[in-house]
Amino acid sequence: MTTVTRTPDQKLPVSFYSGDTLGVARNLLGKFLVRKTAGGAMVGKIVETEAYHEVGDPSCHAHRGMTARNAVMFGPPGRLYVYFTYGMHYCMNIVTEKEGVAAAVLIRALEPVAGIPLMQKNRGPKAIEKNLANGPAKLCQALAITTAQNGHSLQSDDLYVSNGETVLDADVVTTTRIGISAGADLPWRFYLRGNPFVSKK
């Protein structure tokens, strides 16, 4: 397991997010997602991501154009696109590429590395450490992320992505996305090989 002795503070620059969406999705692996609340700071290592793009991806929310719901996806890179689904869950995406192009990376799973008691409090008494953030809805609940953070800049001080561990290509699994029907054949999911906090191998 990963441990951190202090809250990581080396924020990734906006230029990191403006790159190709598949590259950003892969390169987010090993980085630290930092969330600071009144109750304390929480940190999770990103161990699983999925890429979504308006071009050639029928599962992308922006595949048919801009709506009030997906407008953030068309905005500047390095912002959060948070949506509510199934009437109960929130999912967090990071907007990528240049402004005007609808593309984002869904953060699918985190390895909790700091602020774990607070994550457990947010998730409820039945949540064990392995399952605190091993899914997009779980990690949003663990880190208290809702649509209130939709459009949030990752250059802020209360919610950002920090530089993290170097991840070799040999340690990355590239495979198809899960939980979707359209575009299910696209190999746009990335996760850390052998990491026990990945949502699904």
- Whole-angstrom Cα distance, residue 20 to residue 27? 10
CATH class of 14-191: alpha beta
Low-confidence ranges of the chain (pLDDT < 50): none
**């799973």: which residue's tokens?**
109
Q: Cβ contacts of residue 175 below 8 Å, gap of 6+?
A: 187, 189, 190, 191
- Whole-angstrom Cα distance, residue 148 to residue 157? 16
**pTM, whole model, 2 decimals?**
0.95
pLDDT digits (tens, 9 = 90+) for 112-144: 999 999 999 999 988 998 999 999 999 999 999
- Whole-angstrom Cα distance, residue 60 to residue 128? 32
pLDDT at 169: 97
